[in-house]
Structures are given as C-alpha cells and as structure tokens.
C-alpha cells in the first residue's frame, strides 16, 4: 500500500464539501473504523493582548502576542503521538497525502500547532527522511484568509440576528444577576488594570493575560490573588456561555456552531458511501471553535477548552453494514479521551439517528437566517428609510416616507440608569462600545463632541428588539423604522428633568414626539 499513488477525483472532492444522500454499504465481516474527524485547539500561547498597567508588555514574549510557545509545540507533538497510538491500525505508519487533510484558521498559532501535531502523528520513516539527522517531514496544512473563514473562526459574523440574540441575552435574569453581583468586582479590576469599557463579555481578556503570565513563571501583581483569579476564571467561562448559550441556545447554534456541524455531518454522510476520500480530516482552531461546536451538540461541559484539547468523531461500519458515530473529548494529556454522548442517543449512535438529532441546529440558509425579521405575532410594518439629525436640543427628520410623527416610534433618552444593560450602539452600521463611565456615572459623562449623551431607542411591543440607533450630534442613515400595529403603545419611560425643545421646523419637540407616540414623560 505504501507504493500506491492515487489522487482524489474531482467528483469525490465535490462530494466531500457539498454532501450526498446517505446510502447503506454492503455488510462487512467485522465492525471497523472508516473515518475520523478531529477538531483541536492550538497549544500554549502568549497573551493575545495586555492591559495598560501590566508590567509585562509585548517585548516580554519572544515572538510577541498571540504566538505559539515551545510548550505549545510540545503539547501538540505529544497529542500527535497519542493519536498515532490510537490509530496505529487505522492509518499507515508513514504519511500518505491521500489519507489525511488538514485545515487550519489563518493564525500563526493554529498553523504551527497543526505542523507540530503532524510531526508527532507522522514521523518520517525510511524513504521519507530527506535528511538522516532530521526526524521531521513537511506535511501540508491548508487555510483561507481570516475574513473569508466561515467554518472555523467563531463567532461567525456579521450576523444581525445573532447580535440581536446577544442583546436579548443581556436582558435575561441570569445575565442581569451576574452584572449586579460583579459590578464592584469589575470596577476594581478596571481600576487595577487601567482598562475602560470592562464588561462581563470582555473581562476574559484580563484573566487570559494573567493566566499566560502565571503559566510562564511571571510574578502577578498583588491584586491578582488566588481568589481573584478563581473569580476571573469563572467569569471567563461565563463569557463562553454568553456567546453560545444562556438564551435561545438552539437558535444561536444554527447561526454559529451549527455551521461547522453541518460540514461534519456532510463528511460523515459521504464517508458512509465511498472510501475514495481521506481517512482523517483535521481542523486546527480555537477554544471558541470547540465551544461553539459542543454547544451545538449539547455536550459542552461549561469550561474553557484547554490547550491542545481535541474533539474526536469516529465513523464505524457495523457488521450489519450500517454506520454509527462515536464522539470523544481529549482534554487531559495523561488520560484517555472522554466519551461524549449526544443527548437522545447511546454513545455508539447510529448515523441516521445522529443526523436526525442534530438536524434542528443546522442552518438551512445561514445568510437568510442571519437577517432580522419582525416577530411572527407582530403586525407592525417596516417603513422606508429616513435621515435623522440628532443634536443636543433637537430631533430633526427629513422624511422619505414618513409623513406623520406617529409613524416614528423613537424615544430620546436621558435616563441612562434604566438602560445600563445596554453595552453597544450603532454608528454608521458599525458596533462601538459604550464608554463604561457613561454607564456607571451618566450624570458626569461628557461626550467627545461636548454634547449631552443622548440615544434614540426603537423597541417593538413584544420587547424582542431593543436597538440603539444613534448617539450624540451626528446624522445617521437608518435602513428601517419599526411602526407598531394600530392601537399598540410603546413602553413608558421616565425621562430626565430636562426635555428637549425646539421651535424650528421640521423639528419635533420631545414633548410632541412623546404625545404622538402615546408616551408620557
């Protein structure tokens, strides 16, 4: 077999990435492994960033931020050796390009992790040694530019519906409770690090930096005590659950990890029909990739995936000729991989059942499902675009389709305290963080332009969408206004003591706007 040379056919490659209908192969003499898919996280790395008051800046790390370390290289070489032992009867002892295909995200640390892994998995043997003194051989690792990666780099975006789900997640009791319970802790960390805009969603960066420094023997600052590190670690795990769970986990999965799962399902299906494809398909990626996939499969253990951890899919052909799928997770280097059980199926899960149970979290049309849509029970309409000019004392609109003020369900807000859960607003279609000072101390905050902080908020009656549309003294192009159904009223908010007024036309005072929108100050 070592001397055989054959390439993948164009049809086979097309089937691998597009998928085919499942067929049952003829019975075999005994159960045997037919196909393996691996998804692993890169190895140990330097921090991806630091914080302003950190005594250890980028020059502390030999290759800079976000780079694979020698420890990380060794971790993946050892994982490669462990995989060689596990699949010694499945893979050839020497590397054959027809048997293995490796895809990585376009980051140095994932590309280098894959190379180190392959060095342990396929050490050169005999004729494959190009130098008797070098026990290594080059093996191709494939990638695509980061901006084009719609398979392994998570969270996937841009996806307006996913961002909407994240906004709704921020309003859940679980998220709100975490915010309240950790408000003082976040303030303390922000003060010690010199960071602004520190939230439940960004504090993982602080933990990551401190963890990397501690792992490499650097002395942590006094405030980073063991209890503080434990609390940071817990909040780091919470940030992963925020991304892919807590609220509407199945729909989030369809927009995130379900995309990768869809490709894995296609590959498993195809390998149940043909043997003219690689036996081993490898994905080298990140902790977010693993969490996104495991959340979609509902097998996530709630903790960050360690360096060089590996999710394994094994496709077996039973002695009946049917196929089954087994999943494992290797998250400890000195232990055998843990069996993972898909809810609703035994560990040896029949392929047809695996496909049926995972179908609900696989998107039919990702781009279509990412689009925003009105709630099915909402009979309001989306109105044509308008131009708004917002300043400190006026709201001016230049209508292209709005002829009455009651078609403009917008509220000018000065009562920031009641909306402290909002963390992002839209400026020219791009998301920007709201300054932390504005959230915690709105009465003392001054915007860069010197205007008082103002927001225009739109909200439909079902409370499913709460999107900040504009801020400060700027002009914004809005693609859609939401008009509530006839007879419906928007929620009532208490505004600050100063209502904005203007006598210029076509400008509405806030009082008139509230009256037209059935709101009251």
Per-residue 3-state assignment (H helix, E strand, C coil) for 120-145 = HHCCCCHHHCCCCCCCCCCCCCEECC
Q: Give one DSSP letter per residue of 148-194, joined into a string.
A: G--SSSSS----HHHHHHHHHHTTSHHHHHHHHHTHHHHHHHHHHHT
Q: Both tokens of residue 273?
A: 């029909």
Query: Do β-strands 424-427 and 430-433 pair in parallel, antiparallel, or remain unpaired?
Result: antiparallel
96 is a catalytic site residue = no
Q: Which of 42, 286, 311, 472 is catalytic?
A: 42
CB atoms within 10 A of CB 391: 18
pLDDT in the model for residue 249: 93
Q: What CATH architecture does domain 15-154+252-361 belong to?
A: 3-Layer(aba) Sandwich (3.40)
Helix (H) or strand (E) holding 262: helix 257-271
Burial class (CB in 10 A: 0-12, 13-18, 19+), 263: buried
Q: What are the residue ranges of CATH 3.40.50.1240 in the chain? A: 15-154+252-361
pLDDT in the model for residue 253: 97
473 is a catalytic site residue = no
Over residues 370-393, the pLDDT tens digits come to 998 753 443 333 333 232 333 333
Over residues 293-351, the pLDDT tens digits come to 999 999 999 999 999 999 999 999 999 999 999 999 999 888 899 999 999 999 999 99
| Torsions phi, psi for 355 (to 5 deg) | -65, -40
pLDDT in the model for residue 29: 62
Are the CB atoms for 374 and 456 separated by under 8 Å?
no
Ranges of the chain whose pLDDT falls below 70: 1-29, 275-276, 374-521
Q: Which of 44, 149, 208, 287 is catalytic?
A: 287
pLDDT in the model for residue 372: 85
Q: Which residues pair with 386 in a beta bridge?
A: 478
């Amino acid at each position: 077999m070592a001397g055989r040379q054959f390439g993948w056919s164009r049809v086979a490659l097309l089937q691998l990435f597009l998928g085919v209908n499942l067929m049952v192969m003829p019975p075999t003499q005994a159960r045997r492994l037919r196909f393996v898919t691996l998804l692993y996280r890169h190895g140990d790395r330097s921090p991806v960033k630091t914080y302003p008051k950190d005594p250890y800046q980028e020059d502390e790390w030999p290759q800079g931020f976000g780079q694979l370390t020698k420890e990380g290289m060794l971790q993946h070489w050892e994982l490669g050796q462990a995989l060689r032992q596990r699949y010694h009867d499945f893979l050839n002892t020497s590397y054959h390009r027809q048997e293995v295909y490796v895809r990585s995200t376009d980051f140095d640390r994932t590309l280098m992790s894959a190379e180190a892994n392959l060095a342990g998995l396929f050490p050169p043997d005999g004729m494959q040694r190009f130098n008797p003194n070098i026990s290594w051989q080059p093996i191709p690792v494939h990638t695509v530019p980061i901006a084009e990666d719609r398979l392994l780099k998570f969270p996937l975006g841009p996806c307006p519906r996913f961002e909407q789900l994240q906004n709704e997640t921020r309003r859940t009791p679980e998220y709100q409770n975490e915010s309240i319970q950790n408000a003082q802790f976040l303030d303390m960390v922000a003060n010690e690090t010199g960071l602004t805009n520190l939230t439940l969603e960004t504090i993982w960066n602080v933990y990551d930096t401190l963890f990397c420094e501690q792992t490499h023997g650097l002395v942590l600052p006094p405030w980073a005590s063991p209890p503080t590190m434990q609390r940071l670690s817990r909040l780091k795990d919470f940030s992963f659950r925020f991304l892919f769970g807590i609220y509407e986990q199945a729909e989030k999965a369809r927009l995130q990890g379900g995309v990768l799962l869809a490709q894995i399902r296609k590959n498993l299906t195809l390998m149940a029909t043909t043997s003219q494809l690689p036996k081993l398909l490898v994905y080298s990626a990140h902790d977010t990739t693993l969490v996104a996939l495991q959340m979609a499969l509902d097998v996530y253990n709630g903790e960050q995936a360690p360096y060089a951890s590996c999710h394994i899919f094994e496709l077996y052909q039973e002695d009946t000729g049917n196929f089954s799928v087994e999943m494992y997770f290797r998250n400890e280097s000195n232990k055998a991989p843990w069996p993972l059980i898909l809810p609703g199926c035994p560990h040896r899960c029949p392929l047809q059942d695996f496909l049926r149970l995972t179908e609900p979290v696989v998107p039919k049309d990702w781009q279509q499902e990412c689009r925003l849509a009105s709630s099915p029970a909402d009979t309001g309409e989306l109105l044509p675009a308008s131009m708004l000019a917002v300043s400190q004392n006026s709201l001016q609109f230049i209508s292209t389709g709005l002829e009455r003020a009651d078609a403009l369900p917008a509220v000018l807000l000065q009562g920031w305290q009641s909306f402290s859960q909002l963390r992002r607003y839209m400026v020219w279609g791009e998301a920007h963080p709201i300054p932390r000072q504005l959230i915690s101390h709105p009465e003392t905050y001054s915007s860069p332009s010197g205007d008082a902080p103002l927001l225009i908020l739109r909200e439909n009656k079902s409370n499913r969408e709460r999107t900040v549309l504009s801020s400060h003294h700027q002009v914004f192009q809005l693609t859609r206004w939401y008009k509530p159904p006839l007879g419906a009223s928007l929620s009532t908010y208490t505004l600050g003591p100063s209502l904005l007024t203007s006598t210029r036309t076509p400008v509405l005072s806030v009082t008139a706007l509230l009256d037209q929108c059935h709101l009251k100050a």
